[in-house]
Amino acid sequence: MATIFWVEDQSHWIRKFSPMLEKEDFDGKPNSLAVYNFAEAARQKIALTEKDSPPDVALLDARMNGNDQAGFSVSNALRKKWPQLPIIYLSEHSGTEIEREALEQFSATDFIAKHQHNVEQVLCWRIKAALRQTYIDSNLSSTINIISSGELTIDLNTWNVYWKGQRLMNPSNAKRPLAPTPRKLLRELMDASPRPLTAGQITERLELDAEKFSYASYRQHIKTLRRAFDAVEEREGGFSALCNKGEGIVTFGDEGAYYWKPPGTKSK
**Residue 19, domain CATH:** 3.40.50.2300
134 vs 208, residue with greater confidence: 208
Residue 266 lies in a domain: no
User: How much is the pTM?
Assistant: 0.54
Indicate whether 137 and 211 sit together in one domain. Answer: no
Calpha distance 120→118 (Å, rounded)? 5
Indicate whether 115 and 37 sit together in one domain. Answer: yes
Calpha distance 203→85 (Å, rounded)? 20
Q: Are strands 257-261 and 197-198 parallel, antiparallel or unpaired?
A: antiparallel
User: Total domain count for the chain?
Assistant: 2
Query: b/e map of 168-177 (b: 16 or more CB within 10 Å)?
Result: bbbbeeeeeb
Residue 23 lies in a domain: yes
Final residue in a domain of this structure, among 143, 174, 197: 143
Indicate whether 137 and 151 sit together in one domain. Answer: no
What's the pLDDT score for residue 267?
54
Q: Which helix (H) or strand (E) holds 177?
A: strand 173-177
Final residue in a domain of this structure, among 143, 174, 204: 143
Indicate whether 168 and 252 sit together in one domain. Answer: yes
What's the pLDDT score for residue 124?
93
Calpha distance 182→222 (Å, rounded)? 7
- Interval 96-152: pLDDT, tens: 888 988 888 887 899 999 989 899 999 999 999 999 888 877 665 555 578 889 889
Final residue in a domain of this structure, among 143, 166, 189: 143
What's the pLDDT score for residue 266?
61
pLDDT band at 69, cuts 50/70/90? confident
* Sign of the torsion angle spanned by Cα atoms 169, 259, 82, 135: negative
- Interval 225-242: pLDDT, tens: 999 999 887 655 589 888
What's the pLDDT score for residue 144?
59
Calpha distance 186→163 (Å, rounded)? 12
Q: Edge to edge, what strands does the sheet with 197-198 contain?
A: 197-198, 257-261, 248-252
Domain boundaries, position 139: 3-143
